Amino acid sequence: MKEKVLLDKKLICTKCRKIYELKNLSKCPACNGILKMNYEYDKVDHEKVFNKNDCIGIWKYKDILPIEDEENIVTLGEGNTPLIKANTLNKDLGIDNIYFKLESANPTGSFKDRGVAVMVSKAKELKADTVIIASSGNAAASTAAYTARGGLKCVVCIPESTPVSKISQAVSHGAQAVCLEGAFTNCYNMAKLASDTYGWINATTTFINPYNYEGNKTIAYEIWQQMNRSVPDNIIIPVGAGPILVGIYLGFLELEKFGLIDKMPHLIGVQTEECAPIVKGYEMELENVKGWSTKFKTIATAISDPLIGYEDDGTITLEAVRKTKGHMISLTEKEIMDAHSYLAKKEGVFAEPSSAVSVGAIQKLVNKKKIRKNETTVCIITGHGLKQNTLSNCRPKTISTLEDLKEAVK
Ligand SMILES: *Cc1c(COP(=O)(O)O)cnc(C)c1O
């Protein structure tokens, strides 16, 4: 017999504090504020939640995830990703305590699986038949996989610049895909329009789907558990709109609420200089993040979100950074490619360029003395290198003799 989760779970508006049942909601119907989950924390048996081993991956934590009936869980085994110690990077920077959280080890190759698993399970629970998602690629691939598994229809809206391997993933899983010209914002608007018109679930992994970013909390729980119930000084996170960062923030806040930790990690968000609306808001000390209207071109397609029309998403992310006394930093295209190549060649970690920014950032932050050498830092490796080909021509020379081999590998 599968147990029903009995705790009362609600949605709460982060602006007007209005409370809602767990329905197909995007933003707050009263004030258009961002919605987040609320649990009866005082009734949660947190020792049970954090000691359980009866479920796979993120579903160990199902008491504090938005699913009400376990029968509806759609899973591919997401979560429980490795936390490994850096090797060469520690030596090169003269630090002993840098770790990589390999979110690239998730079932479809990116951390998006955590939120998508929760969201698709919720869509199933709400008896939805179609899910639409605007995505820079990874969330589309992930949503396509989980909807295939859950028996739901999936429509994905992606920008023309999306790497082909991500499109191939989504299409292989049977999703209906369309491209939109220009930046991600156009995809965002189309997904919103279609979901408003047809009543489809809008699964876009910004803050528009409150169930989705909730899944990202589990990264915080895992880091804390994998570090023997301790909190790192810094966590460096590649950021688009920032649900990953805010999710990690919420996870640590909950651990604090349960009395399990007594400090928060500094959360450090990283963007590409080509499209860095949250970094700009941070550096200019703005109260509210402004959309990025400059045209851009970047290799870091998974983290380039101009936020035009949903600037609040950037603001909520910036607030989390500030509350943890964290930092926002941007990298040049060259720094991103160097970090990608360094990770692959010196650490054996194949990360897509958007994910390697966490490593590029630590090199910069140590040089700027923003991270001290005795601190413990976790770099989140958000997505797999197989997601995006970065080599224009890597096909080797065809040979036939040992002489040829000797010539070729000298
Ligand atoms: C989506 C994504 C990000 C950014 O996450 P947000 O939650 O949108 O800020 C970073 N890296 C990769 C590989 C991604 O797919």
Kindly tell me if the per-residue pLDDT of 400 is higher than 90.
yes
If you measure from the C-alpha of residue 398 to the centroid of ligand 1, how many angstroms do you get, rounded to a whole number? 38
Minimum CA distance residue for ligand 1 atom 8: 240
Whether residue 2 is predicted with pLDDT greater than 70 in this model: the reply is no
**Mean pLDDT calculated for residue range 95-112:** 97
Residue 157 backbone phi and psi in degrees, to 5: -115, 115
Average pLDDT over residues 35-42: 93
Cα 123 from Cα 202, distance rounded (Å): 10
Q: What is the mean pLDDT of residues 13-34?
A: 94
Compute the distance from residue 242 Cα to the ligand 1 centre, in Å: 7
pLDDT for the residue 28: 94
Residue nearest to atom 13 of ligand 1 (CA): 383
Q: For the segment 226-272, what is each residue's pLDDT rounded down to a tens digit?
A: 999 999 999 999 999 999 999 999 999 999 999 999 999 999 999 99
Whether the CB of 303 sits within 6 Å of ligand 1? yes
**Exposed, middle or buried: residue 83 (CB in 10 Å: 0-12, 13-18, 19+)?**
middle
For ligand 1, what atom is nearest to the CA of residue 237? 10
User: Looking at residues 177-183, what average pLDDT do you find?
Assistant: 91
Ligand 1 mean position, distance from CA 179 (Å): 19
Please indicate whether residue 62, judged by its CB atom, sits closer than 6 Å to ligand 1. no
Read off the DSSP letter of residue 105: G
* Residue 393: pLDDT band with limits 50, 70, 90: confident
Cβ of 355 closer than 6 Å to ligand 1, yes or no, is: yes
Is any ligand 1 atom within 6 A of the Cβ of residue 109? Answer: no
Question: How much is the average pLDDT of 132-148?
Answer: 95
- Residue among 110, 133, 336 to mutate when testing ligand 1 (max atoms within 8 A of CB): 110
Q: What pLDDT digit, counting tens, does each position of 185-228 carry?
A: 899 999 999 999 999 999 998 899 999 999 999 999 999 999 99
| Predicted local distance difference test score (pLDDT) of residue 389 | 87
pLDDT at 62 over 50: yes
Tell whether ligand 1 has an atom less than 6 A from the beta carbon of residue 248.
no
Closest-lying ligand 1 atom to the alpha carbon of residue 103: 13
Size of the chain, expressed as the number of residues it contains: 410
Provide the sign of the torsion angle of the four alpha carbons 175, 181, 187, 192, taken in this order.
Answer: negative
pLDDT at position 66 over 90: yes
Q: Give the Å distance between the CA of 292 and the centre of ligand 1.
A: 17
Q: Which atom of ligand 1 is nearest to the CA of 352?
A: 13
Q: What's the pLDDT at 6?
A: 65
The verdict on the CB of residue 352 being under 6 Å from ligand 1 is: yes
Return d(Cα 316, Cα 5) in angstroms, integer: 30
Calculate the alpha carbon distances from 30 to 14, 18, 54, 205, 212 in Å.
12, 8, 39, 22, 21
Q: Is residue 184 pLDDT above 90, yes or no?
A: no
**Structure token pair of residue 81:** 């990703």
**pLDDT > 80? residue 4:** no
pLDDT digits (tens, 9 = 90+) for 303-334: 999 999 999 999 999 999 999 999 999 999 99
Q: How far apart are CA 35 and CA 232, in angstroms?
A: 28
* Beta-carbon-side half-sphere exposure of residue 299 (alpha carbons within 13 Å): 23
Q: What is the distance in A from the centroid of ligand 1 to the CA of 136?
A: 9
What is the model's pLDDT at position 1? 43
| Ligand 1 pocket test, candidate residues 101, 161, 235, 303, most atoms within 8 A of CB | 303
Pocket test for ligand 1, best of 106, 114, 138, 237 (most atoms within 8 A of CB): 138
Alpha-carbon distance of 264 to 266, in angstroms, equals 6
How many other CB atoms are found less than 10 A from the CB of residue 250?
A: 19
DSSP string, 127-179: T--EEEEE-SSHHHHHHHHHHHHHT-EEEEEEETT--HHHHHHHHHTT-EEEE
The alpha carbon of 383 and the centre of ligand 1 are apart by a number of angstroms equal to 8
- Looking at residue 352, its amino acid is E
CB of 314 within 6 A of ligand 1: the answer is no
Structure tokens at 284: 């200019």
Spacing, Cα 183 to ligand 1 middle (Å): 15
Three-state DSSP at 243 gives helix
* Atom number in ligand 1 closest to CA 244: 7
Q: Which protein residue has the closest C-alpha to ligand 1 atom 14?
A: 302
| CB proximity list for 273: less than 8 A, separation 6 or greater | 330, 331, 332, 333
Above 70 in pLDDT, residue 5?
no
User: 399 C-alpha vs ligand 1 centroid, how far in Å?
Assistant: 41
Secondary element (H or E) of residue 237: strand 234-238
Ligand 1 pocket residue status of 238, Cβ below 6 Å: yes
Average pLDDT of the chain is 94
C-alpha 219/C-alpha 180 separation (Å) is 31
Question: Using CA positions, which residue lies closest to atom 2 of ligand 1?
Answer: 302
Write down the pLDDT at residue 182: 84
